[in-house]
Amino acid sequence: MLTVEIICFGNELLIGKTVNTNANWLGKRITTLGGNISRITTIADSLDDMEKAVREALSRKPDMIITTGGLGPTFDDVALEAVSLATNNKLELNQQALELIKQRILFVKKQRDIDLHLSEERKRMAMLPKEGVPLQNKEGSAPGVLLQIEDTMIFSLPGVPREMKSIFDFEMIKYFTSENNLHLFDRSLIINHIPESELAASISPVREKFPLVYIKTHPRSYTSDEIRVIEVEIHLTTFCTSEEEQILDEVVEELVKIIKGMRGVKGKKPKITIGIE
């Protein structure tokens, strides 16, 4: 059983401006996965306090430390600097992280047709501890980071809940499943002609019916020959034994049934493409 400490960075959490839903979600998720949460700490956006919190957590030698918040482009986003100081791991420009940020910028520009560029502030998000490994953020620009210090894994995650959850479920979950013979399984559906807002509302009952399957919609609309193409990916993930993998097939069947009954934009019949990742 993995022992886990969670450190949440953010003044807004301490003054009651923002409810700490990240700690709640992580606590439930990790417990379900068989992990043991030994401590949850909330720390102000003070570099000294943040560094001290990480050092103290390391001294207790948990299997895993998870920090949330402080990975953005603003002046007070200093989570990685705190981790760097606490672990004597100098910050440096990580080319893999920089490439992930560039890919995200291109994706957002194409999807939303807005002008984005690699500013110095965004480039700053690629400054990682020297031995850190970037983790892909499918929901935002700031990569997560994994840093191994002796027997402790330090995961630094964004404070935005949807980004934190995405990195956990796509990048971190394997470290829990390997402990109890569980595996991560994926399915994807590409849907054309139905906007994400309509699709997300229609598939809510499936989420409720299959709470152990993470169902996430990703808008992928684009313009081709000046024609707007409506496209959404539905990504399914779950952790289970190989014998239980068929639950994803059941979810796909339910989703297809619902989507086939919907009407697309301009009366077009929805197009569904199913894949296994």
Domain ranges of the chain: 3-177, 183-275
User: For position 243, what pLDDT does the model report?
Assistant: 80
Do residues 18 and 12 touch, judged by C-beta distance below 8 A?
A: yes
The pTM assigned to this predicted structure is 0.72
Angle in degrees, 0-180, between the axes of helices 79-87 and 47-59, rounded to the nearest 10 = 50
User: For position 178, what pLDDT does the model report?
Assistant: 63
3-class DSSP assignment, residue 270: coil
Encoded tokens for 99: 């490439």
User: For position 276, what pLDDT does the model report?
Assistant: 53
Burial class (CB within 10 angstroms; exposed 0-12, middle 13-18, buried 19+) of 108: middle
Query: What does pLDDT average to in each consecutive run of 10 residues of the chain (277 residues)?
Result: 94 95 94 88 97 98 98 93 97 96 85 76 93 95 96 97 94 78 82 89 92 87 73 87 88 94 84 77
Do residues 47 and 78 touch, judged by C-beta distance below 8 A?
A: yes
What's the rounded Cα separation, in Å, for the pair 67 and 49? 13
User: Quick one: fold of 183-275?
Assistant: Alpha-Beta Plaits (3.30.70)
User: For position 180, what pLDDT does the model report?
Assistant: 64
Do residues 172 and 35 touch, judged by C-beta distance below 8 A?
A: no
CATH for the stretch 3-177:
3.40.980.10
User: For position 224, what pLDDT does the model report?
Assistant: 67
